[in-house]
Structures are given as C-alpha cells and as structure tokens.
Structure 1
C-alpha cells in the first residue's frame, strides 16, 4: 500500500487532541442529589454480576482512535500499487518519407539529413542506456526498430543505410496520422516517451512531448509544375498550367511541346509545335499559365487575373488535336532547382478514339436520333462518335448496331447490338419470339418492374432510372437461351434484357417506343447513355493521376497490360474488370489492350505526377496528431478509499452501540 497524499497523515494529530480531552475531562460531577436517587443507583450496580464499565470505556476510546486514524488515512489517499510508473529514457524517432523530402541542397537530400540525425540521436539515447523506436512515415508507415536498446545500435545503422541505398523515400505523400498512431502503444506504456519528428514541414501546433526537427535548408528553391490540363473550346484546344516558385522571387520560362498537332487519326504523325512564355513568380504564389486562341477572363477575380499569364495562339499555331503535350521549364534564371521531379508534366488524350454507330429502322424514330446526338455531344471529350442511318450500308465495320422493328437475318458479330421492338429473331441472338400482348391502350398501361437478384447489385444500365414511371401498353413475349440478364419485366414477362460476355454483347427492348411513355421522359436518353457506358466503358477516367492514388481500369476486351514507358515502373497484366491499381513512381504509363471482337484498340497513355502538395517545399500545416492520451493514475494504482470508508463506518456504528449501552 502507498499514500498518494502523505500530508493527509497530519490528521493523526486528532488522536493527540482526543487523549488531551480525556485527560482534562473531570471524572466526577458536583451537584445535589436526593438520597432516594443514590439508593436506586447503588442498587443498580449491586445487581450487575460482571463489572463491564472499564472494558466498555476502553473499547469506546479504541473506536474513537481508530475512527480518527482511518479519517487521517483517507486524507492521505491510500492505494494499492499495481505497477510502477516507468522512468526509463525512451525515445521515438519518426522519419518523414514523403516526396518533398527528396529535395536536395549541396548534393544531400532532406531524407538523408533526417536519417543522419536519427543516427546521432540513437548514439545519445543508447549512450544514456535508453531505448529507441524508429518509424518510417511513408504512405504505409512501419517500425524500422521498436523499443530497442544499445544492443541494436549496429542493426539500426545497417537499417538506416539500407533506407538510403534502396531509396526508400517515396514519390507520394506520407501518412503522418498513421505514423503517430503507431506510437500510441509505446507512449501508453511510458507516457514520458519523447517523440522526434524529422520532416520539412512547419506545424502551427505541436503536442507536448513531441519535437519537430525541420531538416529543410533555407537556401532550397523549387520551381514546380503543379498540374495542367487541355480542354476543347470553340474548335481548338486550350492548355492551362499551374506553376510556382517556392523559396524565391523571379522569372521562369515555361515551354510547351505539342506532338501530333492536328493529326487526323492515330496513324497520322501530325505536326510538332513548340511554345514558350516567361512568367513572373513571387511570394510562393501559384501562377496560372494559359495557352489559348482567345483570352477569356471575365469570370476571374482581380487576384486571379493578376496571377494569370496568357499566350495567345495565332492562326498558324492553333491545333484541334494532339497526341501528347509536354510542359517543362526552359529557364530558371540563377536559381538552382532543389527538386527536379516536378519540373515536367505530360498531357495525353488529344487524339480521340472513333466510335461508329449504325442506326437501322424501317420507321426512323426521332427520339432515338435525338438520343444518339445527345450521346455524341456528351461524350465528345472522350470519343469521336460517327452516326450512320443508311439502310444500304452493310452490317459490318461498326462498333454499335441499333436495329428497330426490322431485324437482320444474322446478328452482326463485330460490335454491340441493340434490338428495339424486334419483329423477328436474328440468327445467333439466342431469342425466341412469342405472341404480342396488348394491354388495351393507355387505360390498361402497366409500369415496368425491376427484376432484382439478391446475389448481385443493381445493374448500372438502370442507374438513375425509376422503372415504375415507365408505362407500356403493348409488348412482345420472348424467351432467351439463358445467356441474358433480365433487368425489367411487364406483367411478369421480360421486356428489357442484356447480354455481355465474350461471345456477344446485346441489349433487347421487347416493346416499341410508340407504345410507351419512355421517350417522353428523361429516362430514355439516360437509358441510352447507360447502355453506351455499359458496353463501351472508358478504360480510365482521366489522363493523369497523382502518385499513390487508386486508378480504376475497365476494358471492353478480356485483358489489358499497364507498363511504364521508362521501364522502371509498373508492368502489370489485368485480367478481370473493373480492377484497380496504385502506382508509386511518377512518369508516363501505357495501356495496351485488345478490343472486343478481336478488334485492335489504340494504346492509351496517362501520366502519373508528384502530388501537388509535395511540391511546396516550404509548407506550413495546422497541427500534428497527438498520440498521448490523458494519463490516468488508476492505470498504476488501485484506490483503497472505498474499503477504508467501510471500516470507518463500521467503527462509527460500534461506537454508537457502546455509547448507547453506557447510557442505559
């Protein structure tokens, strides 16, 4: 047992006061009494067989002493020691391994400086018989060593050297929160643990027992291309780039190389164009550089206008297509760039893949034509969609075939096929047509019902479509060969089906647009768009990503291959879709894929860049995570106050009994 507040034992002086009271208290009283009272009192004492007055007085005094002693002990906070609070010299070193730590000055990276300082700290800690843990804070922080003593000194030196040799500093962002959460078990066992965070970032708030060691150099300067994009406006491309000069004020020259300018298709080499413009950079402000046909800054604020520089193309410089655009710095003045990995930026996607659609109908439907034109416009940034509605064109060489009413004798095998209101069953479709069901006009119209499968999610074909709003007055019963998925039914009969496998890609709508309210609702163009996305998915949703981000891949074919053009990055075969991949190295990557129905698909290039936040080599952030929870003394002691209080109450009750007996 231990007393947490020993001064409370001064309450024992109450026992001394009690003794003094008993000494000074007179043992008799002077008063007049009658002879009868004296006679009764003497008779009372004579009747008692055993004299107990002295024993009772002793017990009464003992209870009072114990009550005072217990009260004094309660003031001193008695506890049972469960475990001793650690007093060891314990240290945790966290090394920031984010991309900005790759910045260097005089040939030494910030990451190297951090590692060397950790080794110096280890010498000090181990020299004082302390223990040390080291955490490498990359995108997935891990312990390099944990709670090691001086016997692990040589191993720590080897591990740190391996970090430097194997270039373990990432090109992405560090998960600082996860790194500090790894410390929680150690600091919970020893709240006196000191944490050193070796980084290049300044924090406005740092928790207690955490020391931020900034390893950046005041002479470091970084010119960076933070991001860039190309948008198609008024028939020509407009290129927008965001750049900054961190650590200095001055003029930089941004160069733009356009390859394959105005190429007709992927086989056309096009022209090569080169542009450059000087940009004034100051106060670490992000500057916007725009290469365009005409200046358009009406929607910009005054501050945005001040930080925007324009290069206006002349008639000979404009381009409506490109194969690649490379942005780089051509001139940095007298500055030495400390971080070269963000000095270039590549833009791809300027040569669109052509999608050929054939619409065949014995009675052209303006709603179908309108929906196709909407598709053409909506996907204009990703695809170049050509639409043909000639009945004389052979059913071959198209990517999508739409047949309405009149069906071909044989189903095309080289593209996606939509069958709207089929009047016959094409060979190879796997469909058997039955009778027509007439529901009796608008009064008997029935809504479509979604056919759900508990084992699979809702089909993307029905995204943002409420089937109960779609009414049908007439449809055709049909059977399929089991290769179709039924999405919707009417009165229990399947009316909307899809098939999507390696053998065929077919969508079937078993009713005419003349016998439904579907064309009058927004659901129809939405359905057409969903069908297009379902059968013709984009391989990727962007042409550039940041290191460490998750990239979603899709394919119309059975497989694709992702390779790094530098040869040092990812080399991955993907066989199932949709699939995802995270890339750890910046640079240009190429996607090679075989198109559906053995058609050649053009290669796709995309760019992976350093996260823009890592380019700011003088970043200031708000606060570091606090791994220290409030220290609770009950983690080390068991409070005995409740037991002591119970004993005091027991003695008080015993004293009351003795006092009661004395007065009887």
Structure 2
C-alpha cells in the first residue's frame, strides 16, 4: 500500500487535543441533593474528572480517535499496488468500431469498455500521464499525455461508437511510435477482438458478449425484360441455427417477406424477382433479435442508365463510330466540320478538329488536335508504350503500335494514362467540373482499331465521360471515400444524410472523396440555375470485418478474461475508509446515547 497525498498525515497532530480533553478535569458546581442514594455514582464521576490522572479505558475516546485516524488516512488517499500497470504514462485504447455496439449482458461492449477505462483513470496516481486513443478506421488521439485526469475522464465519457471498421495494424504502428523512447508506460486496449503485438506492457481487456448474430452481407441487382432481380446474401455468424423473417422494401414500401432458416456459420443467397425497373432504392431487413442490430439491414441504390447524347466531330473515323454505336445507352450525332456555339450534348468527341472555344455543358474527348495548346508540336515516330494502372486500360493489352504521336503537355489536372518513353500520349482528368480525355495520336496512325481490345477501350472512355448525370458509384461501405460526380456548371452541391441533416459542400471540397460515417441512403443535390439534379448513394456495414465475432473455446475465453483482470491500476481505498469512519461515528452516537 502507498499514498497519493502523504502530507495529510500531519493532521494526526489533531489527536493530541482529543486526548487532552479527556485528561483535563471538567469544571463543575456544588449541588444540594435530597438523598445519597446516587453518591457512589457521583464519586466515580469525580474520580474520572480529576485532571492529569492516568488515562483509563474509555470506549468513546477510542471510537473518536479511530474516526479521526480513518479520516486522516482517507485524506492521504491510500491505494493498493497492481503489478500490471505502470504509473508513469498510461495509454488507453478504446475500440470504437461498429462491432463494439454489440450486446453484452444488459449493456454494449463499447459502454463496458468505456466504464472500465473511466475506473482505470480514477485509480491512477495524480502524477500519472494519460493518453486516450479511439481505434477507428484510423486511430484518433483524443487526448495526449495529460496529467489532468478529470479532463481525461470527460474526454473518455464523450466518446461515441462509430459505424466503421477498426484499424488494428495502424493503431499498433502508432503505439510503437509513441512508446519508442519511453520506459515507464502501460498500454490498455479495450476491444472485442483478439490483438497480438510485440509491444512491452501492452494489456488487452477482451470484452465478450452475445455470439448470436446474423448479417446481410450484400445486395446486387440485374435488369432484364421482366424487371429487376435483386440478390441478397445473408450469413449466420453464430454457432446455432437461426430462423427469421427477411423483408424487402422497394422505395421504402414493403414489397415481400420470406422466412429464412440458416445453419451455424453458413450463408444463403435470396432472390427477389419482378421488381419494377424504375425503382430507385432497395432495402432488405432481417427481423431478428441478435447481438448487433446495425448489420440486420442493408440499402442498395439502383443506378439508372438514361440515354446519353454524344457529338462526334470528325472528317471520318469508321472504327470509332462503330465502337461507340455498340453502346445502346449512347445516342451518337456526327458532324464533319468544326462548328462554333455547339451545346446540348453530354459528350463531345473532337477527332482531329475542334471549335476555337470548347463547349462547357458536357464532357470532352480530344483526339490529336493540331490547334490546341495541350498538344506538343513535335511528332514522335517511335518509342516504348507503357500503360499506367488506370481504368481506361484495365482490360486492354498493349499489343498495338503507333506510327506517330504527339506528347501531351503537363497540366495540373491531367493524369497520365499511356506513356511513350515516360512522356504522356494519353491523359485524363477533370477541369472546371468537366471530365476530359486527351489522346495524342490519330487512330488512322495505329493498328489499335484492328485489335479485339479496341471496342473495350472505347467503352472505357464512354464509361468515364458519360457518367455525369448520375452518381457513378452508388453503393459503398461506411467509412469509405466516395468520388462525387459533379455536373458541369454546378453552382452548389449539398449532401442530405440519412438522419435528414443537410451538409453544404464547396465545389473545391466536393472534388475530394466524401466519407460517409452513417448507415443508410444519402441524397446528393446539385443546383444549376433553377434546376436541381438529384442522385443517391447507400452506405452499409462492412460485415466481413465487423459482424463475424471471434469464435473461442471456453479455455480461450477464460485466458482472455484473466488477462483483462490485470487491467486495474492502483486501486484507491479512500472511499472505503470514509465509509468505515461513518459507521464508527454512528456506533459512537449509540454508545454515547446509552451512557446518558
């Protein structure tokens, strides 16, 4: 045992006045009595009040001395040592990932971990430093090396669980960097996952809970003449058979219900057929009381494919025309001379010619333009082709040759796609909310159109440039970044979250990936004058990471529990001493009352 505030032991001097009060004779007055029946008792009182006599046994005195001593000990804040925790720097890591919202007895794993962390801080020595880290998709240092334990408890209390995954690897790397030059430290991790790391003084407090859990892992769809067919994958992540109802909602209206039975640790694919092709949002929900309710529902946005208008300005390019016509969602228009003031198309393809002023209401593909500043004048006759890891060449082989090409000038918005001797000959990017692809060679100067991969390359260019009226990617996992497809001439863009709150985004910020932190369907609004184009995307649980709780044997659970019991720190016993002092004070009052 040791003490946080031993200076309070000086108050033991206060015991001296208490003892002196019992030694000194109490002042009294003479009284005339009618009988000497009580004389013997009065004589004993006189003897007891004789000053500076030998101190006799007195129960009240003993109780008062004991009460005073307990109060002094409590002020000195005694604590019991624990071998597991160092008193220098205590680093508390609380797992805030979605799985921590799972049930554990009458609470959640997260709340249990937070309360254990608060108890740990409460029992630390006053000179101990505390660091709090939230283990989320990225580790977040909430409080760094503070001695203000009141503030540390407040920051820990304010923590909320997230809907994302945890990043154990990045958290371990951060911890290693933090304790690299420290000797007196302890790391306490409160989590529902097993963690192993080669870090000294790291203790994992494993928070167990209910194992029964099913999850909806995925929703996908296909469209045919009979409408939409949706495929739902459901998994039983527990060790027991489960039965439940699975409900299908179409645009927030109940459409169908199926009874599902799943054996332990198995999955099943559920098909929903005959859904109307104009549906926008599909939701599937499992009606079951299990450990984690957040993975019992999944949202899916059906991305429509409206017909797009494309204008091809060329003197003649049969190969390119036929490759474009293979896409049934593209309505192709063609002119054979450069025209000014063109507008009203989703895509402009300028093959060897272009107007002096490029249109601003659609995306653009430029092919070997001589009158454009992006193309360098010297013509390259030979060189080694090199394709970078890009979507345009994802399924395209480089088994073609070029007789001549122009290099593309460097620009901050151009991303290189195809190189000749480390110089760009195909680039792409986004400039002023317009997607652009720039090609530095004529298709007539290459055997590329004769290759089987040429139509694939053209479709890849169309996929990149024509997904402008709708959100290109509509289904993500919570915590992922999403590239928003911003329309040309968009003046304002806003996101309406699943909870109904509206978030305004600056156009410059909207070019960066948007991170969804909530589960559900998000609405994207883009204002262009009086028009308000709307699109949607859905954010769902990463069930592969957060729904599959670890299956452990009883021996493994007991071992983890014993390891967690080490996470206690110095246990303060001040409150116990104060409670004992109050009980003795009550006893003293009883003794005094009976004595009178």
Does the aligned pair in 1 maintain the 2:188–2:204 contact within 8 Å?
yes
Task: Give the structure 1 partner of residue 319 of structure 2.
Answer: 367
* Structure 1 residues 23-422: aligned runs within 5 Å: 89-90=87-88, 91-105=90-104, 108-126=107-125, 132-145=130-143, 152-163=148-159, 168-184=160-176, 187-188=179-180, 191=183, 193-203=185-195, 209-218=201-210, 221-232=212-223, 236-247=227-238, 248-259=240-251, 274-283=255-264, 285-291=265-271, 313=273, 317=274, 319-329=276-286, 331-332=287-288, 336-357=289-310, 366-376=318-328, 385-387=329-331, 401-403=333-335, 406-407=336-337, 410-415=340-345, 416-420=347-351
**Taking structure 1 as reference, are residues 154 and 535 closer, same or farther at Cα in structure 2, changes over 3 Å only?**
closer
- After superposition, the C-alpha distances for 1:179-222 in whole angstroms (9 at most, x for unaligned) are 3344336654555644332111235788764332222324x633
Q: What is the aligned counterpart of 1:590 among 515, 519, 523?
A: 523
**Cα drift, residue 545 of structure 1:** 1.1
Instruction: Give unmatched runs, 5+ long, in structure 1.
Output: 1-86, 261-271, 293-312, 377-384, 389-400, 434-444, 478-484, 489-494, 625-664
Secondary structure of 2:309's counterpart equals strand
Secondary structure of 1:178's counterpart equals helix
**Taking structure 1 as reference, are residues 282 and 458 closer, same or farther at Cα in structure 2, changes over 3 Å only?**
closer
**Taking structure 1 as reference, are residues 460 and 145 closer, same or farther at Cα in structure 2, changes over 3 Å only?**
closer
**Cα drift, residue 556 of structure 1:** 3.9
What is the rounded CA distance, in whole Å, between the counterparts of 1:175 and 1:511 in structure 2? 45
Secondary structure of 1:169's counterpart equals coil
**Taking structure 1 as reference, are residues 599 and 204 closer, same or farther at Cα in structure 2, changes over 3 Å only?**
same
**Taking structure 1 as reference, are residues 88 and 337 closer, same or farther at Cα in structure 2, changes over 3 Å only?**
closer
Q: How many residues align?
A: 441
What is the rounded CA distance, in whole Å, between the counterparts of 1:504 and 1:148 in structure 2? 49
Secondary structure of 1:196's counterpart equals strand
Does the aligned pair in 2 maintain the 1:99–1:173 contact within 8 Å?
yes
Does the aligned pair in 2 maintain the 1:246–1:618 contact within 8 Å?
yes
**Taking structure 1 as reference, are residues 570 and 289 closer, same or farther at Cα in structure 2, changes over 3 Å only?**
farther
- After superposition, the C-alpha distances for 1:48-81 in whole angstroms (9 at most, x for unaligned) are xxxxxxxxxxxxxxxxxxxxxxxxxxxxxxxxxx
- After superposition, the C-alpha distances for 1:351-392 in whole angstroms (9 at most, x for unaligned) are 2232134668898x653442023344xxxxxxxx1435xxxx
Secondary structure of 2:125's counterpart equals helix
Secondary structure of 1:160's counterpart equals helix
What is the rounded CA distance, in whole Å, between the counterparts of 1:503 and 1:568 in structure 2? 26
**Cα drift, residue 557 of structure 1:** 1.2
**Cα drift, residue 612 of structure 1:** 1.4
**Cα drift, residue 328 of structure 1:** 0.9
Task: Give the structure 1 partner of residue 514 of structure 2.
Answer: 581
**Taking structure 1 as reference, are residues 147 and 615 closer, same or farther at Cα in structure 2, changes over 3 Å only?**
closer
Secondary structure of 1:159's counterpart equals helix
* Structure 1 residues 462-501: aligned runs within 5 Å: 469-471=401-403
**Cα drift, residue 113 of structure 1:** 0.7
Secondary structure of 2:171's counterpart equals helix
What is the rounded CA distance, in whole Å, between the counterparts of 1:234 and 1:586 in structure 2? 32
Task: Give the structure 2 partner of residue 653 of structure 1.
Answer: none
Does the aligned pair in 1 maintain the 2:93–2:132 contact within 8 Å?
yes
What is the rounded CA distance, in whole Å, between the counterparts of 1:487 and 1:246 in structure 2? 43
**Cα drift, residue 345 of structure 1:** 1.3
Secondary structure of 1:339's counterpart equals coil
What is the rounded CA distance, in whole Å, between the counterparts of 1:254 and 1:348 in structure 2? 19
**Cα drift, residue 611 of structure 1:** 1.9
Does the aligned pair in 1 maintain the 2:313–2:350 contact within 8 Å?
no
**Cα drift, residue 227 of structure 1:** 2.1
TM-score (norm 1): 0.53
Larger radius of gyration: 1
Does the aligned pair in 2 maintain the 1:421–1:509 contact within 8 Å?
no
Instruction: Give unmatched runs, 5+ long, in structure 2.
Output: 1-84, 360-368, 372-378, 407-413, 419-424, 561-596
- After superposition, the C-alpha distances for 1:20-56 in whole angstroms (9 at most, x for unaligned) are xxxxxxxxxxxxxxxxxxxxxxxxxxxxxxxxxxxxx
**Taking structure 1 as reference, are residues 119 and 502 closer, same or farther at Cα in structure 2, changes over 3 Å only?**
closer
